[in-house]
Chains A and B, each alone.
Chain A
Amino acid sequence: MTITTKRRRWGGYVIIIITTVVIRLLDQPHGDLPAIGKLLDPVNGCLANAERTTRDFGSAKKIAQLQGNASVMYDERLVPHIRAVSDHDLYFLQGYIHASFRLWQMDMQTRAAAGRVSEVVGEKTFEYDRKQRRKGMLYAAERSLAAAEADSRTKVMLDAYTEGVNAFIGTLSYGDYPLEYKLMSFAPEPWTNLKCVLMLKYMADDLSGKTDDIAHSYLRTVLPAEDFDLLYPDKISGSTPVIPRGTAYPTRTLPEIAAPADSIAFPSYRSSDFGERSESGKGSNNWALGPSKTASGAAILCNDPHLALNLPSVWFEVQLTGKDMNVYGASMPGAPGVVIGFNDSLTWGLTNNYRDVKDFYQIYGAEGDASSYMFGGERRKFDLRIEEIKIKGKPTFNDTMRYTLHGPVMYDEHYNEKGSLKNTLAVSWMGHRGSNELLAIYMLNRARGYTEFVDAILHFECPAQNIIYADRRGNIALWGQGQYVNKWKGQGKYVMNGSDSATLWRELIPMNENPHTLNPETGFLSSANQNVTDSSYGYWYNGDFTELRAWRINDVLGGMQHATVEDMFGLQNDNYSVLASKTLPLMLWYCKDVNSKYLDTLRQWDYRLTMNGTAATIYQLWWRNLYSDIWKDEFSAVPGYVIPLPERTMQLMLADSTLKYYDSKRTAKKEVLRDMVLRSLKETTDSLQQLEKSYGLAWYRSKNTSATHLTKIAAFSYDSLKTGGWGNTVNAMKGGHGPSWRMVVEMGKEIEAWGVYPGGQSGNPGSKYYADYLQNWVEGKYYKLVFLPGTQAADKRIKYTWAINK
């Protein structure tokens, strides 16, 4: 062998080594960076997710697991209309289809519910996961799973759905994985029934998992009782409750319990760190008009639940047609059935019912015995439960949780919101109880009239919902439905002393005693997260209610005659601000001597927060400054910044211009409302001038309504959507929250329905169906929904068909 041969061999080996190293580097993820080589591979990498815009979704399929023949027809908007004979086949196909369009979303949302995100993301989500476990989310889901599997109907539903999801996962190889798996470098895992329940618990936590107990305890220490009641009334005056005044509420059968004299606990914390700032104006609208109010003489029902505006959307439209059911509506990827929609007899909608079903308890350890706590003068052992939190790239973290009679100990010396909370607090949450909301969905999807509707919703325990109803016979009804505890007055409004046995949640209120009404004389019903009843309802409760949207809706509907579906579209997209209409005249009156082009704009305004409106931006900014100026000096230390509601502030402003809270603590002068208004105007003018120099005063730019991908990746998200409205207008378009599904159903001889949601059926950012509804949603336009009668075979609106043989 010559020297040159040797040298070139060596050269060759070196290059082979370099090549191998480069390949290895590109084949592995590095931190948040995905495996670039794998990702760029045009065969199985991200480009494999580039869906043909002309893709034919139809095919002949053979699915061995089915019990009979079935078909799936997709309409032009890619809504699947699933037909099968047995429940098993229907829910199997729903699972299979949910997974084929939304698998990664289903995976992530159930991980988020369970506190299992760190397994695939790593350390940075550890605190999030831990909080989920601490809240008892997994524990809650396990208990509800037991309840769901104990009922033969929901057992079939869950088993079949899970089987369907797993059948789809079984068809996948790396190239077929949803794009996000490739970007985040993990793989789908088998689906389970528990995950379906976790999806429902995720919603329960989102809708009923917030409570102001800790803030209220704090407020009791800093405010005289009468001030507390003035600023934070249980029932705001002038409320138009969900179940209207004058309704004969069901008679109370459980005895009234006397409130214990001293049951409040006052946890201590470094309040500046504690809790999340609550976002007001989160909620939903629904209403129904009876035949006397509509032009057609048929009942009309409308619903728009306000949820996080994420992509992929929280909803997926579907029609399920079986031997005893023909139902259409919004389903939740990750769970079987239709959550909001209509069948061939009736239609229903949901808004959140904010009655408080989550309470905190201060726990007192038994002296000299770390394994026990005090309750009713006796020692009791904690039940222990180990939460195993897996973390990518790190050792598993085992959190030993202690459970009390009240529920899990959420906060203690090991977990205390960054060290701010000094006490041991346990939490009682209705969601911890084993309830079977899936059965409510199962029965609701099949219900044929009011009685069956009621039978169905009585299984809907948590999250409590205002469930509205309309049917083809022209009946309308509304229930403030959920499972509640017979509480003594004030129970659970503050953190309670957990060692006092009188604070324990005792008897459950029989659910047929929940407030409800059928066919009221006014001819219409509505709910928008306001107070549920007036004070004549037999049981005491408190909650996180807001009134502004309800006032507007009831005002508009009360005056409406011969209503059409177009009127309904109009009301769902209504941007009229009740808050502005009541507060602005007063604010302007205090400024009548001030010269300002901004004030000139406001003086001619019609109180509508229109998309391009500059008055909207001026008012909103001014109001925000004024609202904050009034409360911030006294209340900035309240945990979670729980300050009096805007509507309460509005009432106080109109009633009393010299309230002591207008006086700023930082100045010697005694200030009144007028000073607050003028000062906030000055602050606002400065900000507006800045704003004009940057992107102008168009309202949509200022509030920035966005539909954001769950990963927050900007390339998969849409911001600065051209929408009007705000959380306190009927068109509740906030920054990241808004009408997640707008639905209008007219229950005539022929059922006609319209709907739209911010997103599209496909969860794949590489599909043209990813966000194809978004623009129409932004513009307040609707799609006519294709509701196929159970018997009909073909329809010209059907674009693709799966003929499925067993």
Chain B
Amino acid sequence: MKLIITIVSIAVLSGVVSLFAPWWSVALVSFVVSLLLVQRPGRSFVAGFAGAGLWWLVAALYRDIPNDHLLSGRMAQLFHLPNGGAFIAITVVVGGLIGGLGAWAGGQLKKP
């Protein structure tokens, strides 16, 4: 349950913060959230990855779907990926990784 709460908190806060902060703010949000909602470092990483990834996924789809996948398709071709979906997946992984790392750091500092 705590894991889910952490994930949702990271996702929602990341979304709010992204309105005025740079792209890497997901790491900061994940870090702070994992300091407050203390879990084992491994679980913190998972929460950060899932939370930040979730926010990036939602934000990416918000742009990609009304665009008919035009841009994601071109970006996929640019990076030699099979399709726009793969490009979105990479996006989510990068967002997740940054979030995960931030959360992991927080979790490590407050390890129970």
Task: Spell out A's residues near B (CB within 8 Å).
Answer: 8-9, 11-12, 15-16, 18-19, 22-23, 26-27, 36-38, 40-54, 179, 713-716, 765-768, 770
The answer to whether B43 has its CB under 8 Å from any CB of chain A is no
Let me know if B77 and A715 touch, CB within 8 A: yes
The residue that A50 contacts in the complex, of B24, B67, B101, B111, with Cβ under 8 A, is B67
Answer whether A50 and B108 are a contact pair too, CB < 8 Å, given A713-B78, A767-B70, A768-B70. Answer: no
A160 to B31, CA, bound (A): 50
Which residues of chain B from 52 to 100 have any CB-CB distance to chain A below 8 Å in the complex? 56, 59-60, 62-64, 66-68, 70-72, 74-78, 90-91, 94-95, 97-98
Residues of A contacting B24 in the complex (Cβ-Cβ under 8 angstroms): 23, 26-27, 37
Smallest CB–CB gap between A183 and chain B, Å? Answer: 8
Residues of B contacting A12 in the complex (Cβ-Cβ under 8 angstroms): 105-106, 108-109
Answer whether A768 and B109 are a contact pair too, CB < 8 Å, given A37-B24, A42-B56, A714-B77. Answer: no
The residue that A18 contacts in the complex, of B41, B101, B106, B111, with Cβ under 8 A, is B101
Residues of A contacting B108 in the complex (Cβ-Cβ under 8 angstroms): 8, 11-12, 15
Let me know if B94 and A40 touch, CB within 8 A: yes
Let me know if B90 and A40 touch, CB within 8 A: yes
Smallest CB–CB gap between B89 and chain A, Å? Answer: 11
Let me know if B67 and A51 touch, CB within 8 A: yes
Let me know if A42 and B59 touch, CB within 8 A: yes
The residue that B71 contacts in the complex, of A18, A54, A713, A766, with Cβ under 8 A, is A766
Residue of A nearest to B26 (CB): A41
Answer whether A47 and B72 are a contact pair too, CB < 8 Å, given A8-B108, A23-B98. Answer: yes
Let me know if B98 and A19 touch, CB within 8 A: yes
Residues of A contacting B67 in the complex (Cβ-Cβ under 8 angstroms): 50-53, 766
A765 to B70, CA, bound (A): 8
Let me know if B74 and A715 touch, CB within 8 A: yes
Let me know if A37 and B70 touch, CB within 8 A: no
Residues of A contacting B78 in the complex (Cβ-Cβ under 8 angstroms): 713-716
Smallest CB–CB gap between B107 and chain A, Å? Answer: 8
Task: Spell out B's residues near A (CB within 8 Å).
Answer: 18-19, 22-24, 27, 31, 41, 56, 59-60, 62-64, 66-68, 70-72, 74-78, 90-91, 94-95, 97-98, 101-102, 104-106, 108-109, 111
Residue of A nearest to B101 (CB): A19
Residues of A contacting B70 in the complex (Cβ-Cβ under 8 angstroms): 50-51, 53, 765-768, 770
A36 to B111, CA, bound (A): 31
Let me know if B63 and A53 touch, CB within 8 A: no
Answer whether A37 and B66 are a contact pair too, CB < 8 Å, given A8-B109, A12-B109, A43-B59. Answer: no
Residues of A contacting B71 in the complex (Cβ-Cβ under 8 angstroms): 46-47, 49-51, 179, 765-766
Answer whether A36 and B94 are a contact pair too, CB < 8 Å, given A23-B24, A50-B63. Answer: yes
Smallest CB–CB gap between A416 and chain B, Å? Answer: 38
Smallest CB–CB gap between A685 and chain B, Å? Answer: 37
A16 to B111, CA, bound (A): 14
Residue of B nearest to A5 (CB): B111
Residue of A nearest to B102 (CB): A19
A770 to B98, CA, bound (A): 33
Smallest CB–CB gap between A30 and chain B, Å? Answer: 14
Residues of A contacting B97 in the complex (Cβ-Cβ under 8 angstroms): 22
Answer whether A26 and B104 are a contact pair too, CB < 8 Å, given A9-B109, A49-B71, A768-B70. Answer: no
Residues of A contacting B98 in the complex (Cβ-Cβ under 8 angstroms): 19, 22-23, 26, 37
The residue that B74 contacts in the complex, of A23, A43, A52, A765, with Cβ under 8 A, is A765
Smallest CB–CB gap between A12 and chain B, Å? Answer: 4
Let me know if A46 and B75 touch, CB within 8 A: yes
Residue of A nearest to B57 (CB): A42
A623 to B59, CA, bound (A): 56
Residue of B nearest to A714 (CB): B77
Residues of A contacting B68 in the complex (Cβ-Cβ under 8 angstroms): 53, 768
A8 to B106, CA, bound (A): 11
A207 to B104, CA, bound (A): 61
Residues of A contacting B102 in the complex (Cβ-Cβ under 8 angstroms): 19
Residues of A contacting B76 in the complex (Cβ-Cβ under 8 angstroms): 715
Residue of B nearest to A713 (CB): B78
A40 to B78, CA, bound (A): 13
Residues of A contacting B95 in the complex (Cβ-Cβ under 8 angstroms): 40, 42
Residues of B contacting A16 in the complex (Cβ-Cβ under 8 angstroms): 31, 105
Residues of B contacting A43 in the complex (Cβ-Cβ under 8 angstroms): 18-19, 23, 59
Residues of B contacting A47 in the complex (Cβ-Cβ under 8 angstroms): 59-60, 63-64, 71-72, 91
A-B CB proximity, top 7 nearest = A41-B23, A766-B71, A12-B109, A715-B77, A50-B67, A42-B59, A12-B108
Residues of A contacting B106 in the complex (Cβ-Cβ under 8 angstroms): 12
- List 19 A–B pairs whose Cβ atoms lie within 8 Å, in order of A's numbering: A8-B108, A11-B41, A11-B108, A12-B106, A12-B109, A19-B27, A19-B31, A19-B101, A27-B23, A42-B56, A47-B63, A47-B71, A47-B72, A50-B70, A51-B71, A715-B74, A715-B76, A766-B67, A767-B70
Residue of A nearest to B19 (CB): A43
A40 to B89, CA, bound (A): 11
Residues of B contacting A27 in the complex (Cβ-Cβ under 8 angstroms): 22-24
Residues of B contacting A179 in the complex (Cβ-Cβ under 8 angstroms): 71
A48 to B64, CA, bound (A): 9
Let me know if A38 and B64 touch, CB within 8 A: no
Smallest CB–CB gap between B106 and chain A, Å? Answer: 8
Let me know if B66 and A53 touch, CB within 8 A: yes
Smallest CB–CB gap between B100 and chain A, Å? Answer: 9
Answer whether A8 and B64 are a contact pair too, CB < 8 Å, given A715-B78, A716-B74. Answer: no
Smallest CB–CB gap between B17 and chain A, Å? Answer: 10
Residues of B contacting A765 in the complex (Cβ-Cβ under 8 angstroms): 70-71, 74
Residue of B nearest to A36 (CB): B94
A44 to B21, CA, bound (A): 10
Residue of A nearest to B62 (CB): A42
Let me know if A40 and B91 touch, CB within 8 A: yes
A19 to B44, CA, bound (A): 14
A27 to B24, CA, bound (A): 8
A5 to B7, CA, bound (A): 26
Tell which of A37, A38, A53, A716 has the most Cβ of chain B within 10 Å: A37
Answer whether A54 and B101 are a contact pair too, CB < 8 Å, given A12-B109, A37-B23, A37-B94. Answer: no
Residues of A contacting B27 in the complex (Cβ-Cβ under 8 angstroms): 19, 23
Residues of B contacting A716 in the complex (Cβ-Cβ under 8 angstroms): 74, 78
A45 to B24, CA, bound (A): 12
Residue of A nearest to B79 (CB): A715
Smallest CB–CB gap between A445 and chain B, Å? Answer: 35
Smallest CB–CB gap between A29 and chain B, Å? Answer: 14
Smallest CB–CB gap between B108 and chain A, Å? Answer: 4
Tell which of A54, A714, A766 has the most Cβ of chain B within 10 Å: A766
Residues of A contacting B90 in the complex (Cβ-Cβ under 8 angstroms): 40
A26 to B78, CA, bound (A): 18
Residues of A contacting B109 in the complex (Cβ-Cβ under 8 angstroms): 8-9, 12
Residue of A nearest to B67 (CB): A50
Residue of B nearest to A8 (CB): B111
Tell which of A41, A48, A53 has the most Cβ of chain B within 10 Å: A41
Residue of A nearest to B112 (CB): A8
If A16-B31, A767-B70 are given as contacts, then 12 extra A-B residue pairs at C-beta distance below 8 Å, sorted by A number, are A16-B105, A19-B98, A23-B27, A42-B59, A48-B63, A51-B71, A53-B67, A53-B68, A54-B66, A715-B76, A765-B74, A770-B70
Let me know if A26 and B74 touch, CB within 8 A: no
Answer whether A50 and B94 are a contact pair too, CB < 8 Å, given A15-B101, A42-B59, A713-B78. Answer: no
A767 to B64, CA, bound (A): 11
Residues of B contacting A51 in the complex (Cβ-Cβ under 8 angstroms): 67, 70-71
Answer whether A715 and B75 are a contact pair too, CB < 8 Å, given A8-B108, A27-B24, A47-B63. Answer: yes
